[in-house]
Structure 1
Amino acid sequence: MHVQEDSVFCAIVAGEAEASVVFEDDVVVAFMDLGAVTPGHVLVVPRVHAVGLEDLDEDTGAHVWRMGHRIGRALRRSGLRCEGVNVFLADGEAAFQEIFHFHLHVFPRFQGDSFRIDADWATRARHLLDSEAGRVRMGLAEIS
């Protein structure tokens, strides 16, 4: 896991870097993504520095997702081209996280836009799913 104390997001949250802010409160700042997938691409960033899910407390995480939900709804009402909405979290390098300050992407989707997720969507055997479910239950037990 990356240990990055300061990020461009820390500077934005502190008001030390420019950002086109959509929403802010005492927990999060939501602003337009400079590297937008589509026009209207918003990042929801907690004020507290956390690298990823493992570092973020659940109450702050729930607020990030609540605001992501609200911004997704707002995008549909914004007048921007929006035939759908993606809410996307990249947690760790293997998941394509590039800025190591937790953030949630919320962006409009439309026919012919450039966003792609390429994966092998093959059906998994039930015994594998049951085994994997057991492993996740073990992980949940460690958190509780």
Structure 2
Amino acid sequence: MDECIFCQIVAGKRPARILYTDELATAFADIHPVAPVHVLIVPKRHIVSVNELTPGDEALVGHLFTVARQIAEQTGIQQSGYRLIINTGPDSGQAIFHLHLHVIGGRRMRFPMG
């Protein structure tokens, strides 16, 4: 989708600080971080949200979580802890309608959320 900002980043048409990329996913720094480490992991294929996932996407979803673990290692937050978030739909706070997994850490997280 040409108008999707995440698709543009994946295609190299929009700048981003890329931390990881492979044939299935790309991870890049969030431009509005809420913590010292805030990375977004997106599938290269445009998927609007969790609601569009099919049983055939199980391996892709598992891969996104494997990349999250790698990002936690790479950014030095694996041992101290981190939060993984997927927002789905407008009421959740999803602002970019391309499935993405937030990796957030580098400080103690607050709870409750929302």
- Bin of the TM-score, shorter chain as denominator length: 0.7 to 0.9
Pairs within 5 Å for 1:1-144: 6-56=3-53, 57-76=57-76, 83-111=80-108, 117-118=112-113
Q: Residues 101-136 of structure 1: CA distance to partner in whole angstroms, max 9, x if unpaired?
A: 00000021414x7x65446xxxxxxxxxxxxxxxxx
Question: TM-score under structure 2 normalisation?
Answer: 0.83
Structure 1, unaligned runs of 5 or more: 120-144
Kindly indicate whether the alpha-carbon contact (under 8 Å) linking 1:75 and 1:108 is maintained by their aligned counterparts in 2.
Answer: no
Residue type at the aligned position of 1:49: H
Aligned-residue Cα RMSD (Å) equals 2.4
More helix by share: 1
Q: Which has the larger radius of gyration?
A: 1
Q: How many residues align?
A: 111
Cα distance in 2 for residues equivalent to 1:8 and 1:116: 30
Cα distance in 1 for residues equivalent to 2:33 and 2:113: 19
Structure 2, unaligned runs of 5 or more: none
| Partner SS for 1:73 | helix
Between the aligned residues of both structures, percent identity stands at 32
Cα distance in 2 for residues equivalent to 1:109 and 1:60: 26
Question: TM-score under structure 1 normalisation?
Answer: 0.67
Question: Which one has more relative contact order, counting CA pairs under 8 Å at least 6 apart?
Answer: 2
Shift of 1:5: 7.0
